[in-house]
Amino acid sequence: MATAKPAKADSKKTDRKEQRKALQLEFARLQRQLLETDVSLIVLLDGWESSGKGRLMRDLVRRLDPRYYEASVIDPPTADETKNVLLWRFWRAIPRRGRIAVLNHSWYSELLNDLSVSPSEREQQLKAFRDFEKTLRNDGMVVIKFFLQQSKRDMKTNIKKLKKDPDRRFLVSERDEKQLADYDDYAKHFASILDECDAGGYGWTIIESSKKKPDAAAALTHVLQALGTKLQAEPDKKPEAPDKKTKSARPVSSLDLDEKLSREEYDRLKKPLQEEAGDLLYRMYTRQKAAVLAFEGTDAAGKGGAIRRLVADMDPRGYDIATTAAPDATERQYNHLWRFMRDMPQNGKLTVFDRSWYGRVLVERIESLTPESRWLQGYDEINAFEHHLVSEGRLVLKFLIVIDKDEQKRRFDARAEDPDKTHKLTDEDWRNREKFDQYLDAMDDMVVRTSTDEAPWIVIPGTDKRYARIAVLQAFVRQARDWLEKDEKAAQKAGRDKKRNKKAKKKK
């Protein structure tokens, strides 16, 4: 970890003031440069409570143009926020391209304040944060983390002073008092987490806040240096491209597409599966478990029809269908994963994504909408993103429905003739069709690189619509049931252990 130091160490007060003013003007100039270069900056303030984060925030943004920065307040998560995955609210707080966000707490905040966190939980969270920051940096965001250090004596003084002031008393929270009471424990805990961050190469910059006011000049100097470096920096090394020659696994293009199901068989199987799917959704609610389903496939593969049959007997209050179109102007101002976080289900809910975050390695790759170096990074970003969802207890299922080029032609022709379906067919579809083989290639790479044990791809032949629909229902029902049963068993075991512990205690 680094310690931020002001550029010059002038001792006279007026000099310091002049110097800070100059730094702030320089910062304001850099803000305009950010806008031109589309580089964004996120500044995280964390550290001891009552150490002056509010004042530092004010000093940092003092001369900035308010149109292009946001000072966000991150408090302990509210009841609503805890219903989603850990990083959900931070995904929503990141700045657009070219902009600045200053957060008064970071994603580390709850971990820093949890003295009794288990080693595995701590490791899991730190990994999530590392992955998140890597994804942000891949996009050209500069992430700066300041940790406000404070001695026990200063903390005591600050808290005492605040409590005397009736208008500021509320700034002293239970958290402040706890940190002061167990100062040494917290100091050790903070230091060990900061050490680990440092070792992982994603360290913090320490700001000494011991003179009551945290040193804004030091912070500003550090931000300016980091930004200056970034704005001149070379792009990162490109990740390895999928190699066509050595590619052996072709899970999509080598799929047997002849699977069929008779009308009778379909009618017999469908209803019980739909009813069970409906029941499973209610069970998910009861157990407060959330699921994320992504559907991919070429145009006319039958995604929409399969989704409609999947949710037919589900209570609409329990699920959402999020349809993914090309990103709009606002959405393009963020990391490609940002807009999907918006629709992530709360505990107890299901979201079905009709097309998903795989656009990055499908359409964006094929249409050259994203430079190769960036969509290649997409595979890792997506794996990390899904890992986060799974480690937060989500069921993640990804369905890929596959048809061949001839079948697509037949379906396009049928759509063209049916007045109720012709709206589904656009010029765009015909253009995409010309790239059918490229899509198959990209899907092969996608499945190979992102089918993981925790979030596997379910690849389904779609020539026969009935077959595909039943396959989707069956896969969902089986996986959701197993996942819920596992959760129920774990809950029962936890209940039994608790009882046993109680008994054991009584005996003593």
Instruction: Name the 3-class secondary structure at 380.
Output: helix
Helix, coil or strand: residue 41: strand
Window of 62-70, 201-209, 369-377, 409-417 that interacts with a copy of itself by CB under 8 A:
62-70
Q: Does the footprint of a copy of itself cover residue 285 (CB under 8 A)?
A: yes
Q: Considering only residues 111-170, where is the footprint of a copy of itself by CB under 8 A?
A: 166-170
- What is the distance between the alpha carbons of residues 142 and 404, in angstroms, rounded to a whole number? 44
What gap in Å lies between CA 256 and CA 403, rounded to an integer? 10
Asked if 317 interacts with a copy of itself (CB under 8 A), we say yes
316 lies in the site for a copy of itself, by CB under 8 A? yes
Q: Does 73 bind a copy of itself (CB under 8 A)?
A: yes
Write 485-491 long-range contacts (CB < 8 A, 24+).
487/287, 487/289, 488/287, 491/287
- Whichever of 83 and 230 has its CB closer to a copy of itself, that residue is 83
Find the shortest distance in angstroms from Cβ 329 to a copy of itself: 5
Q: What is the DSSP string of 261-324?
A: --HHHHHHHHHHHHHHHHHHHHHHHHHT--EEEEEEESTTSSHHHHHHHHHTTS-TTTEEEEE-
Antiparallel, parallel or unpaired: β 319-323 and 141-149: unpaired
Paired tokens of 182: 């167990």
Helix 303-311 vs helix 263-287: crossing angle, to nearest 10:
60
Q: Do 327 and 412 touch, CB atoms closer than 8 A?
A: no
Least distance to a copy of itself, CB of residue 418, Å: 12
**Minimum gap (Å) between residue 242 Cβ and a copy of itself:** 31
Binding-site member from 15, 18, 65, 406 for a copy of itself (CB under 8 A): 65
Who's near 177: CB < 8 A, 6+ residues apart? Answer: 159
Query: Smallest gap, in angstroms, from Cβ of residue 500 to a copy of itself?
Result: 26
320 touches a copy of itself by CB under 8 A: yes
**How far, in Å, are 166, 328, 385, 394 from residue 332 at the CA level?**
46, 6, 18, 27
342 near a copy of itself (CB under 8 A): no
User: For a copy of itself, which is the closer residue by CB, 52 or 378?
Assistant: 52
Provide the mask over 235-274, with x wherever binding to a copy of itself is found by CB under 8 A and - wherever it is not: ----------------------------------------
Tokens of 236: 């990162």
* Tokens coding 261: 């199901």
Give the Å distances, CA to CA, from 503 to 274, 287, 490, 493, 506. 44, 27, 20, 15, 5
Residue selected from 8, 17, 21, 32 as contacting a copy of itself according to rule CB under 8 A: 32
The answer to whether residues 300 and 411 touch, using CB atoms and an 8 Å cutoff, is yes
Q: How far is the CB of 280 from a copy of itself (least distance, A)?
A: 9
Least distance (Å) from a copy of itself to the CB of residue 503? 28
Per-residue x/- marks for a copy of itself, 76-95, CB under 8 A?
--xxxx--------------
User: DSSP secondary-structure letter at 141?
Assistant: E
- Of 26-34, 110-118, 124-132, 252-260, the window that binds a copy of itself (rule: CB under 8 A) is 26-34
From the list 345, 339, 298, 292, the residue with the least C-alpha distance to 317 is 345
Q: How far apart are CA 85 and CA 155, in angstroms?
A: 33
Q: Which two tokens stand for residue 456?
A: 């596997």
Our finding on whether 183 is near a copy of itself (CB under 8 A) is no
Among 185, 271, 282, 367, binds a copy of itself (CB under 8 A): 282
CA 16 to chain centre: 41
Question: How many angstroms separate the CA atoms of 324 and 329, rounded?
Answer: 14
**325 touches a copy of itself by CB under 8 A:** yes
Does 305 sit near a copy of itself (CB under 8 A)? no
Indicate the residue among 79 and 181 with the shorter CB distance to a copy of itself. Answer: 79
Out of 8, 17, 21, 29, the residue judged to bind a copy of itself by CB under 8 A: 29
* C-beta closer to a copy of itself: residue 71 or 344: 71
Check binding of 173 to a copy of itself (CB under 8 A). Answer: no
Determine which residue in the list 330, 426, 492, 501 makes contact with a copy of itself, applying CB under 8 A.
330
Tokens of 425: 């067919």
When binding is defined by CB under 8 A, the residue of 308, 342, 405, 500 that contacts a copy of itself is 308
Q: Which stretch binds a copy of itself (CB under 8 A): 139-147, 183-191, 232-240, 323-331?
A: 323-331
Among 279, 380, 392, 488, binds a copy of itself (CB under 8 A): 279
Contact predicate 326/267, CB 8 Å: no
Point out which residues bind a copy of itself (CB under 8 A): 25, 28-29, 32, 54, 57-58, 61-62, 65-67, 70-71, 73, 78-81, 102, 104, 166-171, 279, 282-283, 285-286, 304, 307-308, 312, 314-317, 320-321, 323, 325, 328-330, 354, 420, 423
